[in-house]
Amino acid sequence: MRFPISMTAGMARYIFRNKRQPRPEWQQDHSADNGASNPFKIIHHGPEPGAHRAPHPMIGRRFPLVLMLEPLHACNLTCTGCGRIREYESTITRKLSLEQCLGAVDECGAPVVSICGGEPLLYPEIGRLVEGLLKRDKHIYLCTNGMLIRKRLGEFTPDPRLFFNVHLDGLEQSHDRAVEREGVFKEAVEGLKSAKQAGFKVSTNTTVYQETDMREIEALYEFLEQFHLDGHMLSPAYGYTSVDDREIFMTREDVHRKFKDIDRLAERFRLNSTPVYLDFLQGRRDLPCTAWGNPTYNTLGWKGPCYLITDGHYATFEELMTKTPWESYGHGQDPRCEHCMVHCGYEPSAALGINGKPGDALRLLRWILR
Ligand code: SF4
Ligand code: SF4
């Protein structure tokens, strides 16, 4: 994620402080603990339990960077690739209270909060939630499908720490097909236009599927240039088991192919993905999963191990951090992680400098200054 320089400096200070003095209780390895006390069902795909594992490069350094806060799972759309509305179908009418949301934010302590869902603009207290987060000096990505921006814009005040992050998976025809409703693209564009005109920061969020034509993503960014947006997020889709249409998801090799020309796009447009993460998507460098960098809180509790797969929900953040067998997840450890290259698992690894190479710092600085 990209922020104004003053905020980037604050984030760098937070990372430096936590890398220097990580909380010891968050750093334990539970990978071999597959007993009844462990609420997670671990599917061992790599070494057998107890066998030697190469230490995780960030072992002894776990801490949260971005909290994924889901105040509700209800949505006004039914997108083809959405795992959320399917996985949480039985609890879709539940909502977190404002106090629960802010309590989770304080408990976690991450400097960035991504408000997602469901559709967060359906949350009755969304204005007060954002206000509460800004009072806590959090940087906010409000992830929305854009349908309700115009209706609810009056509940917010522009702030450099607040971004409306609008979901757009392609130009009008493709986007409306992906969200399974005509007119959504037009309304989302009207929404982002209104937000920009009112002085808000606005970025877009695009998920890349097997059928995505990257030339269309380029055309989408060209179209959006007229609105002078504040960045674009781009990530390959995760293959949710709850989504029946398996054809839409990609293998790692598919992702490498799909993102092979991403550098050219990154030169032309303001991509919010870090250069190291883009290297990873192109298959130029390996990164380990650092899902603990992006914890998720929703109506069932702290979702473990990550935003994408669910082996359980914990009542407290402390429990999520101390009881999750983090070492049992990631590429080569769990079959469900095999083709995952999604930003919430790997952007923290890039931000934390894992598997760093000479020149990374300079590239990062260039990226921040652009
Ligand atoms: S807008 Fe988001 S939450 Fe709603 S169905 Fe689409 S992907 Fe899911
Ligand atoms: S690799 Fe992906 S699916 Fe697996 S734990 Fe990490 S973020 Fe979750």
Q: Evaluate: CB of 32 within 6 angstroms of ligand 1.
A: no
pLDDT at 3: 60
Can you read off the two tokens belonging to residue 308? 């994408």
| Tokens describing residue 50 | 């107890």
- Do residues 18 and 40 lie in contact, with contact meaning Cβ atoms separated by under 8 Å? no
Tallying the residues shown for the chain, one arrives at 370
Q: Which of 68, 79, 165, 205 has the most ligand 1 atoms within 8 A of CB, as the residue to mutate?
A: 79
The sheet with strand 112-115 has its strands ordered as: 232-236, 201-208, 162-167, 139-144, 112-115, 66-69, 296-298, 301-305, 310-314
75 pocket-lining for ligand 1 (C-beta < 6 Å): yes
Expressed in angstroms and rounded, the spacing between residue 75 Cα and the centre of ligand 1 is 6
151-206 pLDDT per residue, tens: 999 999 999 999 999 999 999 999 999 999 999 999 999 999 999 999 999 999 99
pLDDT of 69 reads: 98
Whole-number Å distance, alpha carbon 241 to ligand 2 midpoint, is: 13
* Cβ–Cβ under 8 Å, residues 62 and 292: yes
- pLDDT score of 358: 82
The residue contributing the CA closest to ligand 1 atom 8 is: 82
Ligand 1 centroid to 10 CA: how many Å? 31
Binding site membership of 118 for ligand 1 (Cβ less than 6 Å): yes
Atom in ligand 1 nearest the alpha carbon of residue 207? 7
Q: Indicate if ligand 1 lies below 6 Å from the C-beta of 237.
A: no
Give the number of the atom of ligand 1 that is nearest the alpha carbon of residue 116. 3
CA distance 165 to 124: 19
Spatial CB neighbours of 343, under 8 Å, sequence gap ≥ 6: 233, 235, 273, 277
Angle between helices 98-108 and 126-135 (to 10 degrees): 30
Residue 345 Cα: closest atom of ligand 2: 7
pLDDT at 245: 63
- Residue 39: the pLDDT is 47
Please tell me if the CB atom of residue 78 comes closer than 6 angstroms to any atom of ligand 1: yes
Instruction: Give 308 Cα–ligand 1 centroid separation in angstroms.
Output: 14
Q: Compute mean pLDDT per 10 residues along the chain, 370 residues long, and list them.
A: 68 85 80 49 47 56 94 94 89 97 97 96 98 97 98 98 97 95 98 98 95 96 98 89 69 94 93 93 93 96 95 95 91 89 90 82 78
Predicted TM-score of the model (pTM): 0.90
* 235 Cβ contact partners less than 8 Å away, ≥ 6 residues apart: 205, 206, 207, 208, 273, 341, 342, 343
Cis preceding linkage at 118, omega within 30: yes
Q: Measuring from atom 7 of ligand 2, which residue has the nearest CA?
A: 345
**pLDDT score at 22:** 82
79 Cβ below 6 A of ligand 1: yes
- Closest residue CA from atom 4 of ligand 2: 337
Residue nearest atom 3 of ligand 2, based on CA coordinates: 337
Ligand 2 is surrounded, with C-beta below 6 A, by 289, 291, 305-306, 308-309, 329-330, 336-337, 340, 342, 344-345
Calpha distance 15→104 (Å, rounded): 20
106 C-alpha to center of ligand 2: Å? 25
pLDDT for res 40: 47
